[in-house]
Structure 1
């Protein structure tokens, strides 16, 4: 049986999601941040014959996250619901998403490894150059993201609002002219984890250790808040750098992206 969740279901649903707190970080973070009445968020739970939650489906904006194991009895219930939501993205752990791939053949598939870090295991001298983003640098920051090639970006208004609310987790490095050349940020946090995303360096400054310094700074941010730092990577060479920093691989993550 499937039902749409509200505040009355919060405790039971979060207990289910916290069985795998790293894999379900985005879903947990969305629920803890927005609650069940926000227009950008919808959550459904699937229960078995013993009234136990064995699956969840989370919609955050155009992204759909099916959350369940390999042998999921509610697949035939989730699939038509996902199709009716016409998502641009379908993402989640490999064990869940592989069950839907054949039904979304037109979607582009991207695989990543999800890694977590409890503590830094190497010194990063360039970390001294890492700074928090200030309002005067927002335009330069957005230009940096474009130059790096990141398609999905926050708006200037959204970033300004985060700074006003003291929620800024964007870290930057500037060159000698004041141009932002490397950056990264925390996308979502739960009570015990945080996801590092949008890490990159513009082309002329790559392979100098700047992105590593950004990640190290964000890991320190997480450590100070007694949280695990998490991130995705798809390049094995990049993964080896993160492993030297102290990251350990957990599960494979799959993103299906609509071509429309």
Structure 2
């Protein structure tokens, strides 16, 4: 049976999700931040003999799915929920789970992208210097300016608001380095921070300052600080060369994450 979840389900939902806190980072974070009554967020759960076996989160018009057994959930039932939204459907989750929704006749998914999912639970002891700074709201324009200069990044009108909201709500933080002109030349950020974990995003260095180890230094410092408070730090990547850098910091691949958007 699939039904909408409420605050009365919170304890069993969290117990279920915390079996895999890294994979469920986004769902856990959204529940902790917005609960079960936000107008832009809904959750559904599948139950068998009173036990929850799968969860679907809708955040605005995007969905995230998680289940206990990829072969034992109601694919058609969850698909019927997603059919009611705009098309193509934006969906993400552990690759072997969400790929069960492919090729259903009544569900149109967005363009598929598969990335590595990596996790770090061990911090490296490093000597921090005054060069590494933690961003405040006053630094947002300079951070966005750096991202705008890099082809791989796509900033939108909402980028500044997202950074501002993350800093204000403490669901994200950004560390950066700057040059003598006080221009930001390298950044690393977190997003979706919750009580258990955080996701690394926004790893970038200005093209004129690459191959100097700046991103690695920032990431090592950021991971160290986050792991003082949480169990895990996670990230997605699809570039094997970037993967080598992350593994030097202490990340290990734990699976694949698929996004349809």
Give TM-score scaled by structure 2 length.
0.88
What corresponds to 1:247 in structure 2? 251
What corresponds to 1:176 in structure 2? 180
Q: Distance in 2 between matches of 1:191 and 1:197?
A: 18
SS of residue paired to 1:99 = helix
Q: Distance in 1 between matches of 2:71 and 2:79?
A: 14
1:136 is displaced (CA, Å) by 3.0
What corresponds to 2:81 in structure 1? 81
What corresponds to 2:56 in structure 1? 57
Asked if 1:16 corresponds to 2:19, the answer is no
What corresponds to 1:98 in structure 2? 99
SS of residue paired to 2:149 = helix
Structural mapping, 1:113-132, within 5 Å: 113-121=116-124, 129-132=131-134
Q: Distance in 2 between matches of 1:168 and 1:53?
A: 30
Q: Residues 45 and 238 from structure 1, CA distance in 2 versus in 1: closer, same or farther, beyond 3 angstroms?
A: same
Q: Residues 100 and 210 from structure 1, CA distance in 2 versus in 1: closer, same or farther, beyond 3 angstroms?
A: same
Q: Distance in 1 between matches of 2:176 and 2:24?
A: 27
SS of residue paired to 1:225 = coil
1:207 is displaced (CA, Å) by 2.4
Asked if the contact 2:110–2:260 (Cα under 8 Å) also holds between the matched residues in 1, the reply is yes
Give TM-score scaled by structure 1 length.
0.88
1:58 is displaced (CA, Å) by 0.4
Asked if 1:110 corresponds to 2:110, the answer is no
Q: Distance in 2 between matches of 1:240 and 1:62?
A: 34
CA RMSD across the alignment: 2.3
Structural mapping, 1:215-254, within 5 Å: 215-254=219-258
Matched length = 255
Structural mapping, 1:11-50, within 5 Å: 11-48=11-48, 50=49
Structural mapping, 1:64-75, within 5 Å: 64-68=63-67, 69-75=69-75
Q: Distance in 2 between matches of 1:46 and 1:127?
A: 49
* Contiguous gaps of at least 5 residues in structure 1: none
1:143 is displaced (CA, Å) by 1.4
Structure 1 moving runs of 4+ over 3 Å:
103-106, 120-123, 125-128, 152-168
1:77 is displaced (CA, Å) by 0.1
1:182 is displaced (CA, Å) by 1.5
Q: Distance in 2 between matches of 1:105 and 1:7?
A: 31
